[in-house]
Amino acid sequence: MSKDTLFDKVWDLHKVADLPGGSSQILIGLHLIHEVTSPQAFGALRDKNLRVRFPSRTVATVDHIVPTDNQSRPFKDNLAEQMIDTLEKNCQYNQIKFFNIGSGNQGIVHVVAPELGLTQPGMTIACGDSHTSTHGAFGSIAFGIGTSQVRDVLASQTLIMNKLKVRKILCKEKLSAGVFAKDLVLHIINKLGVKAGVGFAYEFTGPAVSALSMEERMTICNMSIEGGARCGYVNPDAKTFNYIKGKEFAPSEENWSKAVNWWKSLVSDDKAVYDDLIEIDASKVEPTVTWGITPGQSIGINERIPELSDIDNADKSIAGEAYEYMGFNPGQKIKGIPIDVCFIGSCTNGRLSDLQIAAKIVRHNKVAPNIKAFVVPGSEKVAKEAKSEGLDKIFKESGFQWREPGCSMCLAMNSDKLIGDQISASSSNRNFKGRQGSPNGRTLLMSPAMVAAAAITGKVSDAREFLKQ
């Protein structure tokens, strides 16, 4: 059993009670809500004649259904309009802070909370969305929940949970030039498998992780869930504190040093005990691309799609399904596979640094003919900062479309969708069958730099070749 890790410390601090059968009642310090998983929760609350108990601990925004082209209200899509309208009413009625479109603070919930300083070390954070794990980058324990649990948090600010085990993922050495956090996390998921994390919290640590910026750490923690772990975290350090300092909801000036001291005390002890330890050599990670239908089915850019005989027995059937669905052959090179659509965005890679690196690659280049390429900033703030640096112009000049913030083609609940069996090069996090809006659409996950390179060549390419120039 783990001991003295950040996870253990934060868990103990938030434990309200032990419940019969071995589970615990855990206090949720910050609750984030959005339009898709909250309406039924508010409905259930009304059915039970309950109220939102601690409204100041919940914050809302809209992201999943918002159109990224024309955002004027009412939305063209009636169902989308109904969902945002329901959220507006629920927030207003329950006095919940709501960052609506046009507020300057709207965006993907996992982009917005960190950039506002809402996400802080030592918190427990829950949201009706599996990528809540993103917030672990700050040393918080953050996890996705279902709608009934959203109801419970609204009603009681607590949840019933079973304590997770803690796996330390020690990332040694450093990532090499032109290799990014996205490549590292895809590599980790590939090495450990998409189920390995079940029952675990992942602690990402080691020199390669310390060297990452806060935005890159968010990318890693974001995809913990793709590795089966409900949450992932990085111990907070000076970078974490600097990132938070001065943000709208950061601790006030008078409380700052108190806050920092408390945060430091939460870091996993040197002698902490873990349930498992995995070591990864980050210097060996290559730009990584998925070739299949789970985020674990990935290879380095210069590798070939594995032969069935090279795949573990347990993974053979899903590999077979993947060859068939993707229309790729075992042994085929991933580099050079033609693509149709390029998507830069999502809570994994829709932040300013993602847009900056992609812009660096597309600058003075043109999107290949017949490729639809678009950028969807993760939030209104990201969009604003990107524009102030002129990134929108760079993208537009090269032939990318520049859109309004939202989840967009990460899950295709708005009108941004693949058509037929189109192949997308996508900076998002899931390549499941049908994920990007077409039941036979195909997704290749990769870093924003790799998506940018693919947009220019029209096929899967090595972004490093563009970064050298």
Partner 1 sequence: MKFNLNLPKGPIERIQGKCISLIGDDIDTDRIIPARFLKCVDFNSLGDSVFADDRNNSNIVHPFDLEKNQEASILIVNSNFGCGSSREHAPQALMRWGIRAIIGESFAEIFYSNCIAIGIPCFTLTKDSVKHIQDKSQNYDLFFEINIQKALAKNSEFTLSLNLKESSRQMFLNGEWDATTTLLNNIELIKEKIDQLPYVNF
Find the binding residues for ligand SF4 in span 90-109 (CB under 6 A): 108
Give me the least distance between CB of 406 and ligand SF4, in Å please.
8
CA distance 437 to 414: 9
Give me the least distance between CB of 83 and partner 1, in Å please.
6
> Which of 31, 187, 230, 442: binder of partner 1 (CB under 8 A)?
230
User: Using CB under 8 A, which residues numbered 382 to 421 contact partner 1?
Assistant: 411-413
Q: For residue 467, count CB atoms less than 10 angstroms from its CB and return exposed for 0-12, middle for 13-18, buried for 19 or more.
A: middle
Q: Where are the alpha helices (DSSP H) in 106-213?
A: 109-115, 147-156, 181-192, 207-210
Residue with Cβ nearer partner 1 (82 or 283): 82
Q: Who contacts 449 (Cβ-Cβ below 8 Å, separation ≥6)?
A: 178, 180, 287, 357, 358, 361, 463, 466, 467
When asked if residue 54 is in the footprint of partner 1 (CB under 8 A), the reply is yes
User: Using CB under 6 A, which residues numbered 323 to 382 contact ligand SF4?
Assistant: 346-347
User: Which range binds partner 1 by CB under 8 A, 125-133, 182-190, 267-275, 279-287?
Assistant: 125-133
* Chain position carrying tokens 């019933």: 160
User: Which range binds ligand SF4 by CB under 6 A, 23-31, 96-104, 405-413, 437-445?
Assistant: 405-413
CA distance 274 to 269: 11
User: Which range binds partner 1 by CB under 8 A, 190-198, 269-277, 374-382, 418-426?
Assistant: 190-198
Residue type, 409: M
Number of residues near ligand SF4 (by CB under 6 A): 13
> Which of 84, 322, 394, 407: binder of ligand SF4 (CB under 6 A)?
407
User: Which range binds ligand SF4 by CB under 6 A, 230-238, 311-319, 365-373, 403-411?
Assistant: 403-411
Sign (positive/negative) of CA torsion 222, 130, 145, 93? positive
> Which of 3, 4, 71, 77: binder of partner 1 (CB under 8 A)?
77
Residue with Cβ nearer ligand SF4 (131 or 372): 131
Residue with Cβ nearer ligand SF4 (108 or 453): 108
CA distance 157 to 16: 11
Give me the least distance between CB of 218 and ligand SF4, in Å please.
11
Look up residue 455 and give its two tokens.
């947009």
Give me the least distance between CB of 350 and ligand SF4, in Å please.
7
When asked if residue 64 is in the footprint of ligand SF4 (CB under 6 A), the reply is yes
CA distance 293 to 440: 11
When asked if residue 294 is in the footprint of partner 1 (CB under 8 A), the reply is yes
When asked if residue 129 is in the footprint of ligand SF4 (CB under 6 A), the reply is yes
CA distance 283 to 139: 24
Q: For residue 468, count CB atoms less than 10 angstroms from its CB and return exposed for 0-12, middle for 13-18, buried for 19 or more.
A: exposed
Other beta carbons within 10 Å of 56: 9
Residue with Cβ nearer ligand SF4 (108 or 451): 108
> Which of 63, 152, 203, 416: binder of ligand SF4 (CB under 6 A)?
63
Q: For residue 369, count CB atoms less than 10 angstroms from its CB and return exposed for 0-12, middle for 13-18, buried for 19 or more.
A: exposed
Give me the least distance between CB of 110 and ligand SF4, in Å please.
6
Look up residue 339 and give its two tokens.
């693509």
Q: Of ligand SF4, partner 1, none, which one sits near residue 294, judging by CB under 5 to 8 A according to partner kind?
A: partner 1
Residue type, 119: T
Q: Who contacts 186 (Cβ-Cβ below 8 Å, separation ≥6)?
A: 223, 288, 289, 290, 295, 298, 445, 446
Q: Of ligand SF4, partner 1, none, which one sits near residue 369, judging by CB under 5 to 8 A according to partner kind?
A: none
Closest to 200 (Cα-Cα) out of 278, 311, 281, 300: 278
When asked if residue 79 is in the footprint of partner 1 (CB under 8 A), the reply is yes
> Which of 61, 106, 134, 149: binder of partner 1 (CB under 8 A)?
149
> Which of 142, 194, 212, 423: binder of partner 1 (CB under 8 A)?
194
Closest to 431 (Cα-Cα) out of 303, 334, 358: 334
Look up residue 359 and give its two tokens.
């812009």
Residues of the shown chain interacting with ligand SF4 in the complex, contacts defined by CB under 6 A: 63-64, 108, 110, 129, 131, 346-347, 407, 410-411, 428-429
